[in-house]
Amino acid sequence: MSDALTMAGRSLRLSARSPEALLTALFLPVMLMVVFVYLFGGAVDIGTKYVDYVVPGVLLLCAVTGAATTAVTVCQDLTGGIIDRFRSLGVPGTTVLAGHVTASLLRNVISTALVTAVAFGIGFRPHSSVAAFAAALGVLLLFVAAVSWLAAAFGLLVSAPEAANSAMFVLMFLSYASSAFVPIRTMPWWLRGFARNQPATPVTETIRGLLLHQPADVRLWSALAWCLGIMAVSVASCSLLYRRRTA
Amino acid sequence: MSEELAIEASGLVKSYRGVRVLAGVDLRVPRGSVFALLGPNGAGKTTTVRILSTLALADGGQARVAGCDVVRDRREVRRRISLTGQFAALDDVATGEENLRMMGRLSGLSRVAARQRAADLLGQFELTEAGRRRVGTYSGGMRRRLDLAASLVGRPSVIFLDEPSTGLDPPSRQRLWQVIADLAASGVTVFLTTQYLEEADRLAGRIAVLDAGRLVAEGTAAELKQRVAARRLDLTCPDAMAFAEVSRHFGERAVHLDPAGLTVGVATDGSTAQVRALLDEADPGRCLIADFAVRGATLDDVFLTLTGHTQEAAHV
């Protein structure tokens, strides 16, 4: 347990001291929100205020970009010599990875707070109880944890940190092809099936439903099932890949 | 198995993807000694170190390190050894002190003890000033020293150093050698790998020569040097044509050929009579040899004799 805390502290220090990663995690989502609300938002007619519609989507995108950097840090650890030192100190691989995931969660708490604050500044007005707000945050963080483990597995799979960086683009594209930014009914027919049934959609709609008090939109079980499913598969893959990489 | 041995390995075999890297390696390293595993790139040095330090499993053979079996008592072995690899095991964005404190915490020290140990090690390795700076700003030599310090946090009794001075400039190398010599003097066992004959000669009490996964010789530096002729006569020619003629004359007997320096080396006992005879034999017309020197055999000569190729040739 003390090892886990030490590793989490280390990962946090790494995040806090790499300005590029921090900028990506904090400012990319804010910039995207501004772009969507002021540039694209005027052209999107969804019947309600677009800023209210899009903020949950931006929070999701923010989670994805923040969590994806886990792939890079994990890959860096494995390409350098430090993983051997950790192993020779008897630190299990899962503890090292859990440290990175913990740091990813804390990074995302900060970026979520920042995005939410800016969102309020540009007119976002949620209508929800404290309990619903907490539930939305809970779902979001569970999603962050799932994507972080997925990114960690990707970081173990690829051999260079540059390649690990591509995890972010794949995941970002996946979140665009969901109801995060535009309603699915506006998409071409061949994309709708995918967009409706991929994890980003139920997670966004659950967060949106909870924040805007639209219980009909909440797809809580689907969102939870996706998050827990991704997490279980990713953690299992991580321990498999870690063993393979360090054999 | 004797407790006097810090490292005892027999019949280590390892293949990676069908390629045999180690083909039966036996090692015996007495407690408190400095042992060098010498060999060219790809000889299997790193693989040997990884097996002995429990990071890789051998396909066959046994090894005991610090009194414990490297497979069955892996945890105990890890507690008693440390490994400094070819890549520095440090976080560049953390300070030297933070790196050492983290290793201290992971070795089971309390917060206070870890802080104290970090300060002690920084002092011992002359890094106290640098300890407050991020490792990313360090020179190559400082990184290597900090890396070594980090490996000592848990007070290991056997230290593995995989090519410790590779990539360092000569002054940094000298300084690192002093650090390693001091460590050895403190009673720990040091097992190092190196491609530099000079490094093995300077640091190690015993040297084993590894070539293509096999040990081709073992002994003290002096013993190894005795396996080739004790002395070498170097004949330097005035031009390329003379060099060609002299090297053709000696053929297989030439133990050293340096076309760039126009020098041919042959074995000799160093006596006046033999040197004179060799000079007459090589240059009856007194125009092919401009200069000569008699020198003690180097470990490079040993390496050539033992493996049939020079270090450089092995790199290609």
pLDDT at B312: 47
Q: How far A230 CA lies from chain B's nearest CA (Å)?
A: 30
pLDDT digits (tens, 9 = 90+) for B143-162: 999 999 999 998 899 999 99
pTM of the complete model: 0.79
Nearest to A82 among B86, B91, B134 (CB): B91
Contact status of A246 with chain B (Cβ, < 8 Å): yes
Percentages helix, strand, coil for chain A, rounded to the nearest 5? 80, 0, 20
Which positions in chain B touch A10 (Cβ < 8 Å)?
Answer: 91, 94, 102
Tell me: the pLDDT tens digits for B233-247?
899 999 999 999 999
Measure Cα distances from B168 to B44, B99, B124 in Å: 22, 21, 20
- Percent of chain A predicted with pLDDT > 90: 40
User: B43 Cβ partners below 8 Å, 6+ apart?
Assistant: B210, B211, B212, B213, B314
- Using CB atoms, pick whichever of B89, B94, B106 lies closest to residue A6: B106
Residue with the larger pLDDT of the pair B270 and B174: B174
Nearest CA in chain B to A79: B87
Q: Does residue B121 contact residue B153 with C-beta atoms inside 8 Å?
A: yes
**Count of residues making up chain A:** 247
β-strand partners of B14: B22
Tell me the nearest-neighbour CA distance from B167 into chain A, angstroms.
16
On whether any CB of chain B is under 8 Å from the CB of A1, the answer is: no
Output the DSSP codes for B108-145. T--HHHHHHHHHHHHHHTT-TTGGGSBGGG--HHHHHH
Nearest to B231 by CA among B161, B166, B296: B296
User: What is the assigned CATH class of domain B5-226?
Assistant: alpha beta
ipTM value, please give it.
0.84
**Residue B246: its pLDDT value, please?**
92
Mutate: best of B74, B87, B148, partner A, most A CBs <10 A: B87
The one-letter code for the residue type at A42 is G
Q: How far apart are CA B172 and CA A221, in angstroms?
A: 61
Residue A117, both tokens: 């604050």
* Closest residue on chain B to A96 (Cα): B106
Beta partners for residue B28, in sequence order: B8
Please identify, in words, the CATH class of the domain defined by B231-296. alpha beta
Kindly report the nearest CA distance between residue A15 and chain B, in angstroms. Answer: 9
- Domain locations along chain B: 5-226, 231-296
Taking each helix axis from N to C end, the angle separating A19-34 and A93-121, rounded to the nearest 10 degrees, works out to: 40
* Residue A134 in tokens: 């907490």
Residues from chain B contacting residue A85 (CB–CB below 8 Å): 83, 89, 103, 150-151
Strand-strand pairing, B206-211 and B34-38: parallel
For residues B165 and A100, the model is more confident at A100
CA B27 to chain centre: 15
Distance, CA of B93 to chain centre: 30
The helix/strand/coil state of A32 is helix
> Which residue's entry shows tokens 């008699």?
B294
Contact with chain B for residue A82, Cβ under 8 A:
yes
Distance from CA of B145 to the nearest CA of A (A): 15
For position B313, what pLDDT does the model report? 41
pLDDT in tens, B22-77: 999 999 999 989 999 998 888 899 999 999 999 899 999 999 999 999 999 988 99
Task: Calculate mean pLDDT across residues B81-87.
Answer: 86
Answer whether residue B304 shows pLDDT above 80: no
pLDDT digits (tens, 9 = 90+) for A166-191: 887 888 888 888 988 888 888 999 99
Scanning every residue of chain A, which has its alpha carbon at the shortest distance from the alpha carbon of B87?
A81
- Burial grade of B274 (CB within 10 A; 0-12, 13-18, 19 or more): middle
Interchain pair A81, B86: CB under 8 A? yes
A contacts of B83 (beta carbons < 8 Å): 84-85, 88
| Assigned token pair, A157 | 């799979």
Residue A56 vs residue B252, higher pLDDT? A56
Single-letter amino acid, residue B209 = V
How big is the A-B interface in CB pairs under 8 Å?
63
Residue B1: the pLDDT is 46
Which position has the higher pLDDT, B73 or A25? Answer: B73
User: Which residues from B are below 8 Å from A91, CB to CB?
Assistant: 106
pLDDT at residue A117, as a whole number: 92
Helix (H) / strand (E) element for B41: namely none
pLDDT level of residue B228 (50, 70, 90 thresholds): low
- Give residue ranges of B with CB < 8 Å to any A CB: 53-57, 75, 78-79, 81-83, 85-91, 93-94, 98, 102-103, 105-107, 134, 150-151, 154
- pLDDT of res. A95: 93
Do domains B5-226 and B231-296 share one topology? The answer is no
For A75-115, the DSSP string reads HHHHHSSHHHHHHHTT--HHHHHHHHHHHHHHHHHHHHHHH
Q: What is the 3-state secondary structure (H, E, C) of B174-207?
A: HHHHHHHHHHHHCCCEEEEEECCHHHHHHHCCEE
